[in-house]
């Protein structure tokens, strides 16, 4: 039933369960229609605030270390960021299901089978959070040196503790706070990168000294970009769209999400690639040090840029922490959402201290981030195929049930066709993963057959999505279509929650 609140809700007047600067009480539970306050533009502006950020600036520089010419890098950045269409698609389930991504994932994998995939995502979110803390501490260390101090290990530990405490604030408060703060931060973040562009233009060398790369390494750079842009955010889509009403236009959701992510990230990554042409160290682990020691960009602006970069990463880590918190709930850990955030912060604190004190941890972390694609590509293919087979609908009440009374319980709470498809897709993705200069381990040939016989071209994204989706379609088609008919019957008979 539509209420006055449903008709008139806005970000200026929110229900108490999701009010800005108050602790959100919802986790993976269903969001009642009376509390669906958001509009597609709210989700879009939130993602805009998450997209104009320094991590993508550095990713653009890292692409140049593959050996691309500047214009090759630009083409990779543009094509790779078209993957934000995937994030738009993955934001469409939340309004109808009323829950998070890994609440909805129970339909495809079963309540118990979904716990394994949720665990993969939880580790992924923690990894990105640690990466963000490393960058924040790196910026703080550079600023400390520029102030005339030489920080030792105790100072690094203090920086980590303070950084983890600060980053916990937004996700602890919850969804509405994150949406509002990221919207506010969009304009100053755009301004700081616009000023950076002004300083960059006189010094950029588009006629790079790099000779360019062939198609195998081009595909590796494309996989890198796709993974760390649209595909890498797909597991968070419905976490932020579930406060939209079911009748929200799908084209508006996709449009707002795509425009507010792809365009800013293309511009920011291209800027990073441009700065790399005269600040070579920008694409290394000492990116902030390289930026601080160059002379083309004024020192005062570098200091301002690093301060903004740190605050920016706090906001981005807030998104990761929020999603890792609700994912922890989806794994079956029975705690409040904000308690889950605290648990994740403690874990991130330990890993982050180890990271900043270790000389090799960043290398392993880089491998971890790149290898995320092995699980996420087939999962995306399976999730989207399942949603299409269900005629783009779920039964919200049954998504909230994890026992035998759930329509999605299947065999012991596991839908085995999804698990088999996931394993097949992961093997396919691994077989197509290129051993690039940014992957510091070697894979056995039997696991890396595709790249070993294609001059180490990277087909991981396409094989992972394609094989996962195809195997699931073959194994699950009849069963899921039958369940879709049952869904239609239940939705017709039962009133909304």
Q: Which domains does the chain have, with CATH numbers?
A: 4-367 (1.10.4160.10)
* Confidence at residue 439, expressed as pLDDT on a 0 to 100 scale: 43
- CA dist list (Å): 164 to 323, 335, 341, 357, 483: 16, 20, 11, 16, 44
Question: What is the per-residue pLDDT across 266-295, written as a single tens digit (0 to 9) for each?
Answer: 999 999 999 999 998 887 778 888 898 888
Q: Phi, psi (5° rounding) for residue 271? A: -60, -40
Q: Contact 132/320 with Cβ under 8 angstroms?
A: yes
Question: What is the per-residue pLDDT across 53-98, written as a single tens digit (0 to 9) for each?
Answer: 888 999 999 899 888 999 999 999 999 999 999 999 999 999 999 9
244 DSSP β-pair partners = 38
* Confidence at residue 444, expressed as pLDDT on a 0 to 100 scale: 53
Q: Which residues of the chain are modeled with pLDDT < 50?
A: 1-15, 436-441
* Confidence at residue 217, expressed as pLDDT on a 0 to 100 scale: 84
Q: Contact 394/93 with Cβ under 8 angstroms?
A: yes
* Confidence at residue 441, expressed as pLDDT on a 0 to 100 scale: 46
- To which H or E segment does residue 58 belong? helix 54-64
* Confidence at residue 258, expressed as pLDDT on a 0 to 100 scale: 97
* Confidence at residue 7, expressed as pLDDT on a 0 to 100 scale: 35
* DSSP strands (E only) in 300-394: none
pTM of the model: 0.90
Radius of gyration of the chain (CA): 22
* Confidence at residue 3, expressed as pLDDT on a 0 to 100 scale: 39
CA 93 to chain centre: 17
* Confidence at residue 472, expressed as pLDDT on a 0 to 100 scale: 98
* Confidence at residue 453, expressed as pLDDT on a 0 to 100 scale: 63
* Confidence at residue 107, expressed as pLDDT on a 0 to 100 scale: 97
Which of 461, 395, 384, 401 minimizes the C-alpha distance to 426? Answer: 461
């Amino acid at each position: 039933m539509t209420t006055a609140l449903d008709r008139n809700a806005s970000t200026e007047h929110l229900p108490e369960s999701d009010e800005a600067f108050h602790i959100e009480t919802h986790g993976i539970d269903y969001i009642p229609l009376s509390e669906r306050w958001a509009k597609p533009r709210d989700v879009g502006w939130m993602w805009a605030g998450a997209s104009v950020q320094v991590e993508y600036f550095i990713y653009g520089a890292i692409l140049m270390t593959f050996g691309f010419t500047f214009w090759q890098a630009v083409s990779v950045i543009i094509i790779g960021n078209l993957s934000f269409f995937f994030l738009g698609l993955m934001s469409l389930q939340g309004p109808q299901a009323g829950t998070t991504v890994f609440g909805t994932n129970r339909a495809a994998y079963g309540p118990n089978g979904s716990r394994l995939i949720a665990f993969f995502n939880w580790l992924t979110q923690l990894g990105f959070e640690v990466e963000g803390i490393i960058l924040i501490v790196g910026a703080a260390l550079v600023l400390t040196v520029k102030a005339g101090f030489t920080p030792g290990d105790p100072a690094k530990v203090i920086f980590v503790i303070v950084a983890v405490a600060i980053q916990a604030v937004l996700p602890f408060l919850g969804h509405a706070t994150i949406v509002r703060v990221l919207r506010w931060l969009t304009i100053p973040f755009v301004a700081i990168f616009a000023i950076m562009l002004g300083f960059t233009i006189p010094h950029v060398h588009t006629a790079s000294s790099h000779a360019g790369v062939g198609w195998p390494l081009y595909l590796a750079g494309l996989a890198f970009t796709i993974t760390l842009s649209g595909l890498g955010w797909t597991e968070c889509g419905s976490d932020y769209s579930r406060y939209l009403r079911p009748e929200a236009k799908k084209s508006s959701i996709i449009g707002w999400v795509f425009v507010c992510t792809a365009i800013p990230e293309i511009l920011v990554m291209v800027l990073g690639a441009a700065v790399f042409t005269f600040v070579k160290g920008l694409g290394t682990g000492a990116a902030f040090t390289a930026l601080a020691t160059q002379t083309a960009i004024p020192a005062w602006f570098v200091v301002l840029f690093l301060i903004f970069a740190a605050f920016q990463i706090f906001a981005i880590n807030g998104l990761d922490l929020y999603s890792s918190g609700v994912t922890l709930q989806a794994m079956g850990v029975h705690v409040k959402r904000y308690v889950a955030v605290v648990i994740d912060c403690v874990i991130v604190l330990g890993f982050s201290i180890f990271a900043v004190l270790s000389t090799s941890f960043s290398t392993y972390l880089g491998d971890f981030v790149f290898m995320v694609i092995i699980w996420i590509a087939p999962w995306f293919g399976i999730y989207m195929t399942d949603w299409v087979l269900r005629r783009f609908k779920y039964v919200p009440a049954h998504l909230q049930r994890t026992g035998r009374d759930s329509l999605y319980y299947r065999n012991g709470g596991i839908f085995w066709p999804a698990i088999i498809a996931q394993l097949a897709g992961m093997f396919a993705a691994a077989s197509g993963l290129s051993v690039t200069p940014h992957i510091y381990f070697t894979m056995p040939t039997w696991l890396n057959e595709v790249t070993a016989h294609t001059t180490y071209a990277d087909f991981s994204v396409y094989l992972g999505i394609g094989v996962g989706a195809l195997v699931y379609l073959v194994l699950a088609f009849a069963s899921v279509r039958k369940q879709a008919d049952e869904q239609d019957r239940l939705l017709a008979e039962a009133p909304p929650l």
